[in-house]
Amino acid sequence: MNKIIPIWTRGKLDPLSENKTFCIAPWVHTYISPQSERRMCCASREEHTFQKQYIDSTNDKNYGEVKESNPDAYSPVSLKEHWNSDYMKNIRVKLMAGEEIPQCDVCNKSILSLNTYRSWFTGYLFKDKIQEAFDKTADDGTTEMEVISFDYRFSNICNFKCRMCGEQLSSSWENEKRNHDMWSPKTDPWMVPSMKKTIEKFHKEVVNKEFQEAINKGIVEEIYWVGGEPLLFDIHWSSMKQLVNEKNSDKCYVRYNSNLSMIEKNGINLFRDILPNFKDWLMCASIDATGKIGQFIRTGLNWDKWLNNYLQGVELNRNKMRIDLTLTGPGMFDLKNIIDLSIQTGTYIETKIVFAFHPDVVMSPFAWPRDILDKVLDDNIAYLKSKSNNQRLLSSLLNTLVDMKQRPSFSEQWPNEYQQGLKNGKNYQTKIKDIRKDGENGTLTIENIYSKEPKLLEWWNNI
């Protein structure tokens, strides 16, 4: 037997000590969006506008080249072509050398969460495959390793219209935009009917088949089910049943990010009939607030139904259930109820912040004036600290709120663009308010919610 040579003796940095930028994902994991854009993972920062996606060419020189929204010009690549493309090989070489690459900024700078995706893959799930990655990777970045971890967004089908989401990840959002002339071929070329058909054909004939092939081979060790709404995917139920029936489920870890609006199909219950058969599982149940505020943020949410479904998961195994919380402006006024839910169910809160790369994302609390943001943060931090016996469950939320006091607000980050960005963002939200008839039939408006902090309501009204 050949002796294994430690990776740090081969001219590369040891990722367990020296190399802080190394991530195992490009050796084991792959992602594809509902628009058929391939990336290293869902958090990576490749060019992700449809026209500029790097999968439009297998030639590294042309990665990022703009293509017209013409189905004849659209040529997405298969997983086999992508996996050892010049692009992916270059990524691997840089990561092995300890180089910080811009594609990994979300983890490098903890943009989305303090608990980074890199720590999940490299520090936990596939830590034991780091040596193998270095052993089976040539100097040019070509790897012999196969994809064993899949995050395939098979479509954007979703029955919710969450206000911090959009048409790319929600068919309900897409339909609303189509019905109210809120899109254009320039901004959403993938929504052009001919292009939409091409994408659907690619998913059916390529994406579904390559995923099914991995299921058939029995090599899948992790699946991240997310959408759209993954529990609406037919392929979810068929592949999960296949893994159970063929006894390959006991070596597979499954994760979910679900709106938890349904947990059963054709008499098969996710918590009763599927998940107990797997090596391990984790359900991140998306929610932003409870009750009416939650229903305002997530158009389509039935709070009582969500809670009932969540409690079924808690009954199976509370340690594998997570309250997957995205911090929004309106949701900041219901955090105490989320905290209480965490304590009552004995389940952790996983915390994310609304993505914002420009100042018109007015659903973000960072759009607020600094003094108001700090006041609301301090109030919630004090409430969290008063629950000293439950810090284990609440640490993610507490650490995130404390960190938010150090992060720049929009006015601090974009001083020259801030005011116009706010106006654009509010105009957009006002249009959504009119379409969804906020305030009718007992529903809330953002003004109802912000009235809890009079200075915030005044600020909002004066934008």
- How many Cβ atoms are within 10 Å of 59's Cβ, its own excluded? 11
3-class SS letters over 404-435: HCCCCCHHHHCCCCHHHHHHHHHHHHHHHHHH
- How many Cβ atoms are within 10 Å of 447's Cβ, its own excluded? 13
Nearest to 348 by CA among 398, 396, 282, 276: 396
Q: Give me the mean pLDDT over the 440-456 stretch.
A: 97
Nearest to 331 by CA among 423, 417, 404, 231: 404
pLDDT given at position 47: 60
Question: At a CB cut-off of 8 Å and minimum separation 6, what does 358 contact?
Answer: 414, 417, 421
Count of alpha carbons within 13 angstroms of residue 271, beta-carbon side: 18
Coil, strand, or helix at residue 184? coil
Indicate the burial class of 331 (C-beta count within 10 angstroms; 0-12, 13-18, 19 or more): buried
CA distance 269 to 341: 24
Q: Give me the mean pLDDT over the 143-152 stretch.
A: 96
pLDDT given at position 118: 86
More confident call, 3 vs 179: 179
DSSP characters over 300-317? T--HHHHHHHHHHHHHHH
High-pLDDT (> 70) share of the chain, %: 89
pTM to 2 decimal places: 0.87
Helix runs in 437-461, H state only:
446-450, 454-461
Torsional sign, CA 256, 257, 260, 261: negative
When pLDDT is cut at 50, 70 and 90, the band that residue 348 belongs to is very high
Domain boundaries, the chain: 7-147, 327-463
High-pLDDT (> 90) share of the chain, %: 71
Coil, strand, or helix at residue 1? coil
- What count of residues does the chain have? 463
